[in-house]
Amino acid sequence: MAARMQGWRRGLVAACLGAACTLAPAAAPWPVAGLSALVKAQGPAVVHIGVERDATPPRRYSDRGLQGVPGAEPAADTRSFGTGFILEADGLILTNAHVVARGTQIRVTLPDRREFKAQVVGLDAASDIALLRIEAQGLPTVRIGDPARAEPGDGVVAIGSPYGFGNSVTAGIVSAKGRLLPGADAMQFLQTDVPINPGNSGGPLFNLQGEVIGINSRIYSRSGGYQGLSFAIPIDTAMRIKDQLLATGRVTRGRIGVSVQEVGQALADTFGLPRPAGALVNDVAPRGAAERGGLRPGDVIRQVQGREVVQAADALGLIAEQPPGRTLRLVVWRDRAERVIEVQVEGYDAPRTAPAAPSAPARLGFAVRPLAPNEQQLLRVEGGLLVQRVNAAASRAGVQAGDLILAFNGQPIDSAETLANELELADGAAALLVQRGATRLFVPICARVGQAKC
């Protein structure tokens, strides 16, 4: 590989004009000496995280009735693993929230094979950030870098535990910056082509100076494994969350009560914008901060506190960073001209703990999560719950993972709480209206405990 990369590098920097040929300064993303020095220096601060979770005991039917003993229905997976990295020498560790959520026992294994029981210091499901602590001193730590300085084409390195294989090193380049993903409206991810697989979650993404610039968090894949698209949470975002979790145990975000969308070329032409950029306000909450400040639907937010808004998530992210009570200066485009609007930021607190994974009444035997606003817009629905897991009873009744539940006995469903309330009122057979792909259908299910059909 080294020979191939050096040949590629020579090909990039050679510039010939007629018979003359000169070598330009190298700009290759890889150090000629390789990556071993980086891995040796930073690898000792990357840890393997093993998590145990409670699971409902598997059940079976027999001639003696329903038994809470091992049987034909498989038990839920009670063990998982991920990656983390040490921020402070006294045992503070950063990882993804989804790695440790609902864990009843969390164990951290260092590269030198020492094991420690870990405690959750704080967890923020919205940003997918969690802090752990182990009882140890004098531990190696990572160095924190600046993701804003990373550019597409820069070399990056990941260290983690894909499929449980600890301290695995993979490398690639930054593919893009500012990527928006479903379910994370105010988060802009670093996209890379670094091979990331299950178990890498929570691990560090290093630049070639050996600094952490991101937390490997997501992949896009048709197979469940790496297919060239991996995404990392920028480390500056994670460190802001870390500071709040350490200080108060929760995360407070600013908001002003608006919903925004992207500005494409057609909308830019309609509003007379010089180029397709900004966050188009499509809804303003009644009696909210934005309304009190004079913001209205049709305004295009172009700057927040002097920082440019290129895409809609820029505005949401910049607003979320502001502390409650601050007066926010917005530059908006209205009636084909710019104007300044000042809005006082409101705050809201994220939950102290992550949701117990996608949730729904256990009686129905499936786990759900609400759709994010951009997912609702994409699917052209209002509300709805996405089925993420089903047990054997729900599967026999006809519910499938990936179904979108729209209504329960004719009542629209927009939250797990609504579903739980409807379930309490139901007795016997119930009808779920689900969307499966492009088709909508009713699925009959029994609302009585432990039964797939009535």
359 has catalytic annotation: no
What is the CB-side half-sphere exposure of residue 349 using CA atoms within 13 A?
9
Q: Are 177 and 231 in contact (CB under 8 A)?
A: no
222 phi, psi to nearest 5 deg: -85, -20
- CA 276 to CA 266: how far, in whole Å? 8
Annotation marks residue 201 as catalytic:
yes
Question: 405-418 burial, b for 16+ CB within 10 Å, e for fewer?
Answer: bbbbeeeebbebeb
For 286, other C-beta atoms within 10 Å of its C-beta total 7
Residue 127 to residues 188, 215, 231, 242: CA-CA distances in angstroms? 11, 11, 13, 11
Lookup: tokens for 144? 């924190």
Catalytic one among 48, 80, 127, 128? 128
Element of type H or E holding 17: strand 14-17
Report the SS3 class of residue 226: coil
Q: Which of 187, 324, 341, 307 is nearest to 254 (CA)?
A: 324
Of 201, 217, 230, 259, which is the active-site residue? 201
Is 98 annotated as catalytic? yes
Question: DSSP E strands: which ranges in 193-294?
Answer: 204-207, 211-219, 230-234, 252-255, 258-262, 279-284
48, 80, 98, 193: which one is catalytic? Answer: 98
H/E element, 429 = strand 429-436
CA dihedral 33, 45, 113, 131 (to 10 degrees): -150
Tokens matching residue 439 = 């088709």
Q: Is 385 exposed, middle or buried (0-12, 13-18, 19+ CB in 10 A)?
A: buried
**How far apart are the C-alpha atoms of 8 and 32, rounded to whole Å?**
12
CA–CA distances in Å: residue 225 to residues 84, 189, 201:
20, 19, 12
User: Is 233 in contact with 127 (CB distance < 8 Å)?
Assistant: yes
Distance (Å, rounded) from C-alpha 177 to C-alpha 152?
7
Tell me which residues are annotated as active site.
Answer: 98, 128, 201
